[in-house]
Amino acid sequence: MSTDRPDFPTLEQVERASREELAQWYRFLPLGDTTEQKKVMDRIEERFKEKGGMSPALSKKIGYGGV
């Protein structure tokens, strides 16, 4: 994790994250400024898709409204 971006999870956190946590990061985190942040975002996207991706109910639950 970059110390200038404490909102970015570590790869370890991404590996342990629930589908809902992944959904929040997938929707609300910026793409990332560094190579490490981009690597984290790529892994978030990959794991999120493996867990079923976004549904209307999950989207509403995380506060984004429909899909």
Give per-residue pLDDT as tens, 19-63. Answer: 999 999 999 998 888 999 999 999 999 999 999 999 999 999 998
H/E segment holding residue 59: helix 56-61
Structurally, how many domains does the chain consist of? 1
- State both tokens at 42: 């790529």
Q: Is residue 40 part of a domain?
A: yes
Residue type, 38: K
Is 66 inside any structural domain? Answer: no
Asked if residue 12 has pLDDT above 50, the reply is: yes
Question: Which tokens sit at 29?
Answer: 């985190």
* Separate counts of helices (H) and strands (E) for the chain: 4, 0
Per-residue confidence (pLDDT) for residue 4, from 0 to 100: 60
Does some domain include residue 3?
no
Q: In 3D, which of 53, 62, 65 has the Cα closest to residue 24? A: 62
Place of tokens 């109910």: 57
Please tell me the pTM assigned to this model.
0.83
Give the structural domain span for 33. Answer: 11-61
Q: Is residue 46 part of a domain?
A: yes
Q: Say what the pLDDT of residue 31 is.
A: 82
